[in-house]
Amino acid sequence: MNATKIFNSLSQKIPVWAVYFMLALPPFYLTYALFTNQLGPDPIRTYERSIGEQGFKLLIIILAITPLRDLANINLVKFRRAFGVMAFFYICLHFLSYLILDLGLNMTELWKDIVKRPYITFGMVSAVMMLFLAVTSNNLSIRKLGLRKWKYLHKLIYIIGICAALHYLLLTKIWQIEPIIYFAIVIILLFYRIIKFRS
């Protein structure tokens, strides 16, 4: 049995609830560390950035599930919904920390940021679209919408990925290598999907 078959065999034995549990640990730890002053000299920024980056990485994993199955025979489809729900959870914490801790629930300032700061604009677009996917990530929504419409709606994940990548890329005035790499990965995964669709 090769490594891929061993990996698939072992991963299929992992219950989905265990994935939810494991993915819930980092944000809970970070939240605890935030309120116990363990995140360094700028705890709010560290918290926001860490939560946001982890949510973005989960989005990339979701986008990579189909290519991994097609090209490497690695099957993570069983966990796609868990990854999506937890990515939304991370992004909610990222947004709420920005809204509450940075802006003090000032909706006027939020709107100004959305209009004036492109990275906030892209972040908000991705967060709103993630909300639509999160509330329809259940069997009831599949039955109500029909499988075809449901699949069409959940193709928004690619637009979400691009917007999230742009949010990360434009976050700093000086471009850094890590956001550029992640942006390139998202573009490659999007092109793979386009090529697969056309073929």
Of the pLDDT bands very low, low, confident and very high (cuts 50, 70, 90), residue 97 is very high
Q: Please list, in sequence order, all residues whose beta carbon lies within 8 angstroms of the beta carbon of residue 19, skipping any fewer than 6 positions away.
A: 79, 82, 83, 86
Of the pLDDT bands very low, low, confident and very high (cuts 50, 70, 90), residue 5 is confident
pLDDT at residue 167, rounded to an integer: 95
* Alpha-carbon gap, residue 95 to 104, rounded angstroms: 12
Domain count, the chain: 1
pLDDT at residue 7, rounded to an integer: 87
pTM of the full structure: 0.90
Mean pLDDT of the chain: 91
Is the Cβ–Cβ distance between 157 and 133 less than 8 Å?
A: yes
pLDDT at residue 65, rounded to an integer: 94
Q: Which domain holds residue 178?
A: 3-198
